[in-house]
Amino acid sequence: MLKFILVKTILKKKKTLIIIAFYLIIFLTSLILNIHNATLYNPKHGFDGIDHLSYILYLNKNWQLPSTALLKETHQSPLYYFIGAVLIKLFGTWKASQYINVFVFWLIIGVISLTLWRVFKKMKSVLVGAFSLIALPMLNIFPPMLTNELLNTLWIICCFSVLVFLCYAEKKQQISKLLGLFFLFLLIGYWTKVSILLVVPIFFISFIILLIKNKKIFLFIILSTTIFSIISVILMTPIYKRAHERYSGSDITTNFIKSKVTIRKDYQFFYRLDWIWKVDMYNTQYYSMIGAAWNSFWTDGHNAITPFIKFHKKSFVLWSLGFVLLPICLYGLILLNRKNKGISLVVNLMGIFMLLIYICYNLNNHYSAARLTYETGIIVPYAFGMASASENKKIKRLLLFLLSIQFVVMVSFFWIQPWWHVTK
């Protein structure tokens, strides 16, 4: 009997060591990929990368905010660009600013993992949720780039994480601290990119859940929220004035209308599915909103870092895996609703609201609106769905198998070669 227990203990330890080694390899490989790509990538190929760099260089040289009309991106909130300018000052090269998003990528993984732990209380579920993001093509497009999108996503996710913790809060001190944290992240996010305000409707839902669960301290919650809101609005005012100055004095609408590349805005654009049997992995942004979202989520449908090839086998594998991974994620979200209806409501509203913003954004005439990467906060319900689904042992094995394929192919496909055009 003692021998049996000993053998069982040894086997369990070996299994634990294998799991640790597996995830350690995943994490290290991902980190190496991001550093490698940031080193080789020329930011001018990113989403307005050269304009983001110009903003950073201006701040590094002058240490004051430029006119909102000076450059294409100078109307943006300044936090990301100040961080870039400080890094240039410290390391003596503009290239230092390009590693911001490598660091932010892992902060996002960390914050979501912490939130998953609060809900599931199982390290295995947390690791699967984190792995699903580390292997996700859409998230791996950002680390090499100069753009404030990923930092903005971090603050959105931080706000969301606080809302999840708020759903569990009961004591006054705990609630006040969490409310303070939410408004702090909202404020920092606003100083990064004004679109952080997208989380406000989700806050109201969480706020209602909080009030229902804590009727005895109703007035305390209302008063605390009011005070934090007033302080936040006051501190947001300088950024609001900058944004208002740009949009009231420029002809951005005219620029969109005159754009040479436009979207067919007929009703078919919003539901066309012919990109599936066409196996169109690169051009759907011109005629199908759903296809464009699919391509930018599961592969590099806009060729932001990978070279353009009409049909790429690795891209096809990533593109195809989505048809299996998405149903598993949705199944996981259904299971989450059975586990905790309050958390499920907050998580699913995050996804639904991001999709609604995506649809609204696609009403304009610019082809880049069809890129789902503008609504990167949608990775939150994706991670929750995967973590929830993995609580089923059979699905967990399938998930690990599929995510391992996705990760290996993604790393191979995204690994920038010195001769690629994005390095020039």
Residue 30 CB contacts under 8 Å (≥ 6 apart), including other chains: 134, 140, 407, 411
Q: Which two tokens stand for residue 161?
A: 């994480």
For residue 183, the model assigns a pLDDT of 92
pTM here is 0.90
End-to-end CA distance of the chain: 67
Compute the average pLDDT of residues 344-356: 89
What is the arithmetic mean of pLDDT over 141-155? 93
Rank 89-93, 205-209, 237-241 by mean pLDDT and report only the highest. Answer: 89-93
What pLDDT does residue 68 have? 78
Give tens-digit pLDDT for 357-411. Answer: 888 888 876 667 788 888 899 999 999 999 999 999 999 999 999 999 999 999 9
Asked if the model's pLDDT at residue 326 lies above 70, the reply is: yes
- Return d(Cα 28, Cα 424) in angstroms, integer: 27
Mean pLDDT of 2-19: 64
Query: What are 262's strand-pairing partners?
Result: 366
Which of the two residues, 361 and 115, has the higher pLDDT score? 115
8 A C-beta contact, residue 315 and residue 283: no
pLDDT band, residue 74 (cuts 50/70/90): confident
Give the mean pLDDT of the chain.
86
Which of 195-209, 340-354, 397-411 is the most confident on average?
Answer: 397-411
**pLDDT given for residue 317 in this prediction:** 96
User: What is the widest separation between alpha-carbon atoms in the chain?
Assistant: 82
CA 68, distance to chain mean position in Å, is 26
The residues near 215 (Cβ < 8 Å, ≥ 6 apart) are none
DSSP string, 379-390: HHHHHHHHHHHT
pLDDT tens profile 213-227: 777 777 888 888 888
Structure tokens at 202: 């989700």
Question: Residue 9 above 70 pLDDT?
Answer: no
What percent of the chain has pLDDT above 70? 90
Q: What is the mean pLDDT of residues 116-127?
A: 93
One-letter amino acid identity for 167?
C
Distance of CA 177 to the CA centre of its chain: 25
| The pLDDT of residue 252 is above 60 | no
pLDDT reported for residue 4: 53
